[in-house]
Structure 1
Amino acid sequence: MTYLNPTRTVRRGRLHAKRTGSPEEIAQWDAEREAFYQRCKPIFDRLKPELIKTHYNWYMAVEPDSGDYFIDKDDMVATKMCRQKHPNAIPFLFRINDTGACGTI
């Protein structure tokens, strides 16, 4: 009989990886990310009251330069739709709920 390993493998992505660089570089990266978030947040806040009624817990990928947004149940599909229309842009992903957060803390 084969026994399954009861421990789960920890998923390691970009956010979980240790960032390397000087403290100044890390601070600059954090500041750029916060500035990008501040450009995307008004688009999300403007649309959230309408979308929360019909698309609760769906994902919304926002491209701030054009103001375009893409909605889908799957986060990867929403991101892919944004990348198809704007191949050189990086979208910011929100979850259509009260907080806009995609994950758990």
Structure 2
Amino acid sequence: MTEAKPTRTARRGRIFPEIQWTEEQKAKRQAEREAFYQRCKPIFDSVQPELIKTHYNWYITIEPNSGDYFIDKDEMTAINMSRQKHPNAPVFIFRINETGVAGTI
């Protein structure tokens, strides 16, 4: 007599369920991100004219509470430099160029 092997049903889709955001949560998150950007942008604007001459297209991470910023050719290195000094603080990353945009859409 043969033993019946247990059959497994294959999982479909993602292992983790998707996060369902309400419109209020989306709006709140967007407002928080915009407020954080508005705190970082003046620091970038103050150092950008000088840094664009010597570090064109490098990355700059800004921690707005202290006003510290870190620059490097590599985006992840700049982020890691900021995390060493401010381990739990969020940072905003800009690219040192005319627009300050770090990525492409």
| TM-score normalized by the length of structure 2 | 0.81
Number of residues paired by the alignment? Answer: 88
1:67 maps to 67
Structure 2 CA distance for aligned equivalents of residues 72 and 90 of structure 1: 18
Matches within 5 A, 1:47-66: 47-66=47-66
CA gap of 1:24–1:83, structure 2 versus 1, over 3 A, is same
Structure 1 runs, 4 residues or longer, greater than 3 Å off: none
Larger radius of gyration: 2
Counterpart residue identity of residue 71, structure 2: I
CA contact (8 A) 1:70 1:82 kept: yes
Does the Cα contact within 8 Å between 1:19 and 1:26 map onto a contact in 2? no
Deviation at 1:72, TM superposition (A): 0.1
The separation in 1 between residues aligned to 2:34 and 2:64, in whole angstroms, is 13
For structure 2, the residue ranges without an aligned partner over 5 or more in a row are 1-17
Q: 1:19 offset after TM fit, Å? A: 6.5
For the residues of structure 2 that align with 1:89 and 1:70, how far apart are their CA atoms?
14
Structure 1 counterpart of 2:47, one-letter code = L
The superposition leaves residues 28-50 of structure 1 with CA deviations (integer Å, 9 ceiling, x where unpaired) of 00000000000000000000000
Structure 1 residues 42 and 19 mapped into 2: Cα distance closer, same or farther (>3 Å)? farther
Cα pair 1:59 1:78 within 8 Å, conserved: yes
AA matched with 2:95: R
Deviation for aligned residue 1:27? 0.2
Corresponding residue of 2:101:
101
What does residue 7 of structure 1 align with? none
Mapped contact 1:59–1:74 kept (Cα < 8 A): yes
Is 1:37 matched with 2:37?
A: yes
Instruction: Report percent identity of matched pairs.
Output: 67
Alignment of 1:7-46 (within 5 A): 20-46=20-46
RMSD (Å), alpha carbons: 1.2
State the TM-score, normalizing by the size of structure 1.
Answer: 0.81
